[in-house]
Amino acid sequence: MTKQEIEVDILRPFGPRILKAKVPQNMIDALNTQCDELLKNDEERKERDASDDLVGHVFEELRCDLEKSEGFGNFLYSATKALYTNFLVERGEQEKIEQAEKIAIHHPWFVRSFENDYNPTHIHTNGSFSCVLYLKIPPGISDKNSRNTHEKYATEGYIDFVFGSSTTVCPGNMCVQPKVGDLYIFPAFLFHTVYPFYGEGERRSFSANMSLQKGD
């Protein structure tokens, strides 16, 4: 077959975008300190318990105060704005970029998980975007499975984003190993699940929903 040089455009009209960013250590420390202080105060811990409002089969979920995060609220706002702006530019809708200034962060919370805890496949309904930031990772979560050794890839303690079915030319999921400081922002409609891990230690993360506010 004769080789031929051709000019092409590769279009990507479908599918969700996921933003990944590295959060500064001082913000990670501030969030962990806030969570640790909550655990010492039984009354406030009970007041901030969010377990009944969420779907996770996990040890504990607690409301977070972004005012005590060394500026992580601003970091999250800027990262969400970057993701939405990227979407608008690729769609040729630059005239809507001012909407990216109208982002609100709703009801942030901590998630505390231990051995055998998991989060079933779900979506988020309170917003346009959702996020997860990893604050603590136990040694049992690594690039190798400790129990499910027959599986080709490690999954224990991982988060799995799912969008449709996998085919030869299009993957239907993205399974991610959690690492301290990694922030993922994704569309709230995107199905995702968190697999259980085994062994000692706490898997701690931060989550929130972000919405686009209508302008005047």
Secondary structure of the chain in HEC code, one letter for each residue = CCCCCCCCCCCCCCCCCCEEEECCHHHHHHHHHHHHHHHHCHHHHHHCECHHHCCCECCEEEECCHHHCCCHHHHHHHHHHHHHHHHHHHCCCHHHHHHHHCEEEEEEEEEEECCCCEEEEECCCCCCEEEEEEEECCCCCCCCCCCCCCCCCCCCCCEEEECCCCCCCCCCEEEECCCCCEEEEEECCCEEEECCCCCCCCEEEEEEEEEECCCC
* Distance (Å, whole) CA 29 – CA 69: 8
pLDDT in tens, the chain (216 residues): 666 788 877 777 788 999 999 999 999 999 999 999 999 999 999 999 998 877 778 999 999 999 999 999 999 999 999 999 998 888 888 888 887 888 999 999 999 999 999 999 999 998 999 999 999 999 999 988 887 776 778 899 999 999 988 888 888 999 999 999 999 999 999 999 999 999 999 999 999 999 988 655
* Distance (Å, whole) CA 122 – CA 91: 27
* Distance (Å, whole) CA 21 – CA 131: 11
Closest CA relative to residue 196, chosen from 59, 39, 20: 59
Q: Cα–Cα distances in Å, from 94 out to 9, 98, 125, 169?
A: 21, 8, 26, 30
| Cα of 37 vs its chain's centroid, Å | 23
* Distance (Å, whole) CA 96 – CA 118: 38
What pLDDT does 130 receive?
97
Q: Model pTM?
A: 0.91
Closest CA relative to residue 72, chosen from 22, 116, 117: 22
Tell me yes or no: is domain 19-212 CATH 2.60.120.620.
yes
Residue boundaries of the structural domains of the chain: 19-212
113 Rama sector, left if φ>0, alpha if ψ -120 to 50, beta otherwise: beta
